Structure 1
């Protein structure tokens, strides 16, 4: 099953995240199917970008989102089923 989740990057104590579509069995930072956006929590103001068309396509095909990604999508006005 495809899951929309965060993939961590960046340095120690300086995280940045990519919002990705990945197979549920893969590791958190492992292979992903496609990158859908990014989230930089430590920048001021917080940077957040997502490709809404790609996300909607994955949701229509049965992908589920983690709670964190679902909350980001809700802020963008996209309702996603939660894992």
Structure 2
């Protein structure tokens, strides 16, 4: 039987309260569990010592017999000094998707085309505009 140490939700709607439980990994989140080894109350401030309560002796026992903690519970154990949790790294998380890259390339292409058109427009009509200005006063007089 695969055993995991995970959170089981309790409390009212929009007022969560979690129990840290040892349960069969195939049982439902709020279903039956083997043992309750702690609690987590996210409503309390982060500095409050009652936010996370863990029975470290029982947690050590379950870890020694092969129970696997979930990521959130592993964070609690790491903060308590019970388990060393490796930091996770996903460098591709901030990278935009394919469609976003295509849209960015199209915007860059349009900006480059507009800059070329503006440069060409500023260079070409400069000489005829001067000629028109000189010719215009002569015809009025």
Match among 62, 67, 81 for residue 63 of structure 1: 67
What TM-score do you get using the length of structure 2 for normalisation?
Answer: 0.55
Taking the aligned partners of 2:84 and 2:26, their CA distance within structure 1 comes to 20
- Measured after TM superposition, the shift of residue 60 of structure 1 is 0.4
Unpaired segments ≥5 residues, structure 2? 86-141
Unaligned runs of 5+ in 1: none
- Counterpart residue number, 1:19: 20
CA contact (8 A) 1:41 1:47 kept: yes
For the pair shown, the structure with the greater C-alpha radius of gyration is 2
Q: Which moved more, 1:39-48 or 1:9-18?
A: 39-48
Runs of 4+ deviating beyond 4 Å? none
Structure 1 residues 80, 7: CA separation in 2 closer, same or farther (over 3 Å shift)?
farther
Cα distance per residue 1:30-83 (max 9 Å; x no partner): 0000000000001233611000000000000011000000000000001168xx
RMSD: 1.7
Q: Which has the higher strand share?
A: 1
Please state which structure has a larger fraction of its residues in helix.
2
Q: Which residue of 2 aligns with 1:8?
A: 9
